[in-house]
């Protein structure tokens, strides 16, 4: 007769090891998203939109559940618009494009274990290009303007050294002048950014 000791035993259910997320330290990552920019002049508002993508580098200090940090990023921008008009029988095409932008920001966050919500703000630099083409000739100019940015986001540390984030930024470059073919236009450049990113924490 088989004894109770000979009966098969059920394996204990697998329990993944718990890790306490640590937000302190350096991190670096990449991001991608979409941007909606406007160049507001006395005669109207030129709308530009398109893909944006780039990278970020930062450092966090965690104090209990509060997370303080600094972050810098540099972004390629495909935000642009094109308009064609016929003047005196000549077809003229005008293009405007935000070519790139970068920011240097502070971050203030609150961590709910592996999830952190945060506000961010600081300085921003945006490069705006304008060009005009007619009769096979093109003239163009670009300018880089410093302004300010503010926004916020949420970040989730899904592995001990990896996190993903969703972020919104508003960028105001203030008064920005462009001179094309001897004609100077003054306007205010503003940008709204929505992006997703992934970070590796060192």
Q: Which helix (H) or strand (E) covers residue 68, if one does?
A: strand 66-87
Tally of CA atoms within 13 A in the half-sphere of 110 that contains its CB: 0
Model confidence at 74: pLDDT above 80: yes
Domains and CATH numbers, the chain: 33-201 (2.40.160.20)
pLDDT band at 183 (very low <50, low <70, confident <90, very high): confident
Question: Which of 40, 36, 100, 51 is CA-nearest to residue 73?
Answer: 100
56 within 8 A of 69, measured Cβ to Cβ: no
Tally of CA atoms within 13 A in the half-sphere of 47 that contains its CB: 2
Alpha carbon 31 to its chain centroid, in Å, reads 7
pLDDT band at 34 (very low <50, low <70, confident <90, very high): very high
If you ran DSSP here, which 8-state letter would residue 3 be given? Answer: -
Q: Is the pTM of this model over 0.75?
A: yes
């Amino acid at each position: 007769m088989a004894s109770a000791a000979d009966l098969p035993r059920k394996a204990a259910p697998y329990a993944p090891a718990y890790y306490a997320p640590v937000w302190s330290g350096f991190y670096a990552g990449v991001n991608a998203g979409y941007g909606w920019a406007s160049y507001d002049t006395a005669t109207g508002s030129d709308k530009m939109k398109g893909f944006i993508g780039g990278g970020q580098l930062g450092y966090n200090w965690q104090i209990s559940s509060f997370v303080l940090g600094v972050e810098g990023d540099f972004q390629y921008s495909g935000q642009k618009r094109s308009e064609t008009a016929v003047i005196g029988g000549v077809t003229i095409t005008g293009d405007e494009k935000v070519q790139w932008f970068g920011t240097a920001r502070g971050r203030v966050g609150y961590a709910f274990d592996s999830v952190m919500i945060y506000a961010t703000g600081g300085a921003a630099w945006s490069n705006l290009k304008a060009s005009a083409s007619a009769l096979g000739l093109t003239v163009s100019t670009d300018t880089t303007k410093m302004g300010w940015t503010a926004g916020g986001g949420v970040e989730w540390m899904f592995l001990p050294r990896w996190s993903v984030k969703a972020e919104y930024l508003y960028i105001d470059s203030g008064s920005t002048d462009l001179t094309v073919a001897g004609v100077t236009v003054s306007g205010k450049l503003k940008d709204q950014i929505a992006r997703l990113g992934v970070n590796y924490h060192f």
